[in-house]
Structure 1
């Protein structure tokens, strides 16, 4: 049962990392290259869609890592799992304090209602997101390392 928990947790965190990596390095660059207002409209839609799912994915991942750490307290690699959990906590804090406020505004924008500085806000969100992606990649690497 413990092995199943380890595998499920690692897969769920890994998929989350993959989605967030894809947003940073594939999806958003595609959106930036779209003509006229299409990119901003696409980001607004993406913000609504992923904004509804990602909080559960982040918290769910954190809960699974916490269960793994508690259940495997005396197993090899628990320190790595705990450190991974700390990084996931950091990613949640970053999300709530830095990214969600921008996303909450951006997901309501239309070409008619967006603020004059919308591009600067989008770029700010992207910079914060790059850091968050690095944090969750590190958390994922620690989980994979704990499996070995």
Structure 2
């Protein structure tokens, strides 16, 4: 095989490898941008403020069931627990452990916890957050839905 053809094939192979590498870098950059813009605790609080609601800091409840960083807010006089995760994928994986009715939470290593809530639980997931409201105040439910979207588990 002539050296010129071998040289041409080598150049084409190198060019392909460079393009593949650039494609992966672009995908990673896009994913990083999406993750950076994913809803987190600080942006959740800003969205509350944008609609004229100020949340008062409170203790997060039920934090022993979740691995995310716990935050608590009193919103319209009702306690809301917020769990923030490093990535949206982490939040999504954690959400999969919650039954559709919100009464069973699979433990990460073994067994599950069956919970008898004092009021209907409402679980929301958006971006890097899982938000839990245990109650039945429609203004709070409507507010959370407007910011986080429909609940993924819990009572009606």
Instruction: State the TM-score, normalized to the length of structure 2.
Output: 0.26
Greater percentage in strand:
2
Structure 1 or 2, whichever has the larger Rg, is: 2
